[in-house]
Structure 1
Amino acid sequence: MVDLYVLDLSKNGLTGKIPKCLWNMSLYVMLLSSNRLSGAIPSPLGPNLSLRWLLLNNNNFNGELPGAFRYFRLLTVFDIGENKISGNIPKWIGKKFTSLIALRLHKNNFTGRIPHSLCKCSDLQILDLAHNNLTGSIPHCFGELNGMKKKSFYTFDSRFSGYGNMTQVIKGVALEYTKTLQTNSKGNQLQTLTDPLMYADNPYLCGAPLPKECSPHENTSKNKDENTNEPNKVWFYLDIACGFATGFWGIIGVLLFKKEWRHKLFMFCEVAMDKIYVVVAVRVLKMKRGREAA
């Protein structure tokens, strides 16, 4: 039996949803790009440590990225561009996909801030976040992505040379790789981070290298939120403490100083326990008699 390492169904006009069973196959490369696949991307049924390349770009997928995608820890190329995927860019992409070489989220409906966790992808050489609805400032740690300082790209396995029809947008022009991600030049990869077109159509992003400067309010909004939440937390715990003290001593204190009330409470509890005992005893006696009659 021959192992299936590569599944290439790209550019076939396939419709419908991705079958969940595909996630269980021991594939190294899954290419489903340039079809008419739609709906939410199904969640993997469990960890898949064999998958290296996953290209789902140029389809009609919607919804958010499944959280179970974090199981694909060995992914080196991840392309979901040209879809309708929404929500925030998950922080686990940077935390779990530490071997990423190329990450392409081009032309989706992602919102929120660019997560700083992407800076943990030290081997990242291609990053495309253009045409989304991202907000906030660009993380300064992007300048520390060592993978973009290398003089050449590389593939994870020579057996799969010739696969990876991946599109990258550079200076507003879409370029398609029909063979591999290898090149002997592109040592200026890090300069693409300074190209404003990399963040095109994200009108709410600000800060260098974009011409739009971040206002002091945008830079300090997170710190302000944290600072304003601190007094709220203090009052919250203070309210709990006061409520507990009032309720506890309001009852215990009265019982300590009011002997008559204390006796009435004990008498009430004793009578209640007697009634419960009688009810239970009668039920047990009825059940015994029923069994004996049977």
Structure 2
Amino acid sequence: MQLSFLNLASNNLSGKVPDCWARWPYIVGVNLGNNHFTRILQTSMSSLPLLEMLNLRNNSFSGNLPSFLKNGSSLVSLDLGENQFSGMIPSWVGQSLSNLKILVLRSNKFSGPIPHQICNMSVLQILDLAHNELTGYVPKCVNHLSAMLVINNSLESYIYFPVSGGQLLVEPLLLKERVYDYSSNLGLITSIDFSNNELSGEIPTELTGLKRLHFLNLSNNHFIGQIPQNIGNMESLETMDFSRNHLTGTQIQSFEASSFVGNYDLYGPPLNNSCSSNSSSNKEEVHHVKGINWFFVSMAFGFIVGFWAVVGPLLYSSSWRYAYFQFIDRMWYKLQYRCYW
């Protein structure tokens, strides 16, 4: 049987993926998403020369990125999101998967830096590495992602599969924690999502050269410095999120305030804080926090000293204990006598 597309998505399948791919050498698309698979073997899937789409999203796969993908030179869409993959993103992703237009690795446990070889993926339109444990800087070569550079509505930018009536069976895009269904015109969308990682350093100015980029999300990282001044050159940018970083300076007024919240050194519209009020409030907050800390320290120290000044002698001196209890008895009799009369 010349099977061209296998769609087992959204079932209740579990266990390991069987090694039977050699029976279907003409298969173009495989969708195993939204199941409970736990193990994918280093199998004959590497011998599928025509495979263009692989969707393993929302399973329980773990371990390093499967090495059989090195032979996936025909892959156009790869979605491994919402699994338990770990380790570093290997450099061969940008070398062996040069025809990818969609790369989704979100919600895994990948660590280490973003390999600069990803910049070699000249036709890449959707790059989603959100919700991992990635560290280091955003590669400055990001402006080599040619498909995001020039505004182009030609047929070459469309993502099309010669199966299932030409429909692309992929999960809807998740942008700024909102779900968007672009399945009908996905080829016109470009997106970079590095949110919820441990990335640091300054936002590279090379990002602003991506004039065809529609969605950019760098929120919940550790970026510092100012927002690149020429970010206004990104003509196609519809949504941008730089929130919850450590950015300074002024923000871009043409975007909503939620794109910048959590950057306490940013000021000006659309946020309601100014440069002077922001800096003074930060100083007051720091001073207040320090005062509260010293107050509790001194209170605890005073309690400890007072407690042992009274209780210590009673524990270690029998004469002090005798005198203390005699004093308590005398006071008790006096109180009783007064209450009686």
Alignment TM class, shorter chain as reference: 0.5 to 0.7
Greater than 6 Å deviation, 4+ residue runs: none
| Aligned residues of 1:60 and 1:84 also touching (Cα < 8 A) | yes
Alpha-carbon distance change, 65 to 24 in structure 1, aligned in 2, over 3 angstroms: farther
Q: Tell me the equivalent position of 2:161.
A: 157
> Is 2:201 the counterpart of 1:206?
yes
User: Structure 1 counterpart of 2:115, which letter?
Assistant: P
| Aligned residues of 1:166 and 1:177 also touching (Cα < 8 A) | no
| Aligned residues of 1:119 and 1:141 also touching (Cα < 8 A) | yes
Q: Which moved more, 1:142-151 or 1:11-20?
A: 142-151
User: Structure 2 counterpart of 1:125, which letter?
Assistant: Q
CA–CA distance in 1 between the matches of 2:162 and 2:23? 24
Q: Which moved more, 1:75-84 or 1:137-146?
A: 137-146
Q: Which moved more, 1:6-15 or 1:149-158?
A: 149-158
Q: Tell me the equivalent position of 2:213.
A: none
Unaligned residue ranges in structure 1 (runs of 5+)? 215-294
> Is 2:169 the counterpart of 1:168?
no
What is the total number of aligned residue pairs between the two structures?
202
CA deviation after TM superposition for structure 1 residue 72, in Å: 1.3
CA deviation after TM superposition for structure 1 residue 73, in Å: 1.1
User: Structure 1 counterpart of 2:21, which letter?
Assistant: L
CA deviation after TM superposition for structure 1 residue 204, in Å: 3.7
- After TM superposition, the score normalised by the length of structure 2 is 0.55
> Is 2:75 the counterpart of 1:79?
no
Q: Tell me the equivalent position of 1:113.
A: 113
CA deviation after TM superposition for structure 1 residue 65, in Å: 1.6
CA deviation after TM superposition for structure 1 residue 170, in Å: 1.8
CA–CA distance in 1 between the matches of 2:185 and 2:78? 14
Q: What CA RMSD, in Å, does the superposition of the two structures yield over aligned residues?
A: 2.2
CA–CA distance in 2 between the matches of 1:23 and 1:132? 33
CA–CA distance in 2 between the matches of 1:79 and 1:181? 14
CA–CA distance in 2 between the matches of 1:177 and 1:35? 23
| Aligned residues of 2:112 and 2:136 also touching (Cα < 8 A) | yes
CA–CA distance in 1 between the matches of 2:185 and 2:9? 16
Q: Tell me the equivalent position of 2:41.
A: 42
Q: Tell me the equivalent position of 2:286.
A: none
Matches within 5 A, 1:212-227: 212-213=223-224
Alpha-carbon distance change, 79 to 158 in structure 1, aligned in 2, over 3 angstroms: same
Structure with bigger helix share is 1
- After TM superposition, the score normalised by the length of structure 1 is 0.63
Alpha-carbon distance change, 157 to 163 in structure 1, aligned in 2, over 3 angstroms: closer
CA deviation after TM superposition for structure 1 residue 181, in Å: 2.7
CA deviation after TM superposition for structure 1 residue 37, in Å: 1.1
- SS of 2:69's equivalent in the other structure is helix
CA–CA distance in 2 between the matches of 1:34 and 1:177? 19
User: Structure 1 counterpart of 2:74, which letter?
Assistant: L
CA–CA distance in 1 between the matches of 2:10 and 2:33? 6
Unaligned residue ranges in structure 2 (runs of 5+)? 205-217, 226-341
Q: Which moved more, 1:13-22 or 1:70-79?
A: 13-22
Task: Report sequence identity in percent.
Answer: 33
CA–CA distance in 2 between the matches of 1:123 and 1:175? 22
Matches within 5 A, 1:224-239: none
CA–CA distance in 2 between the matches of 1:139 and 1:24? 41
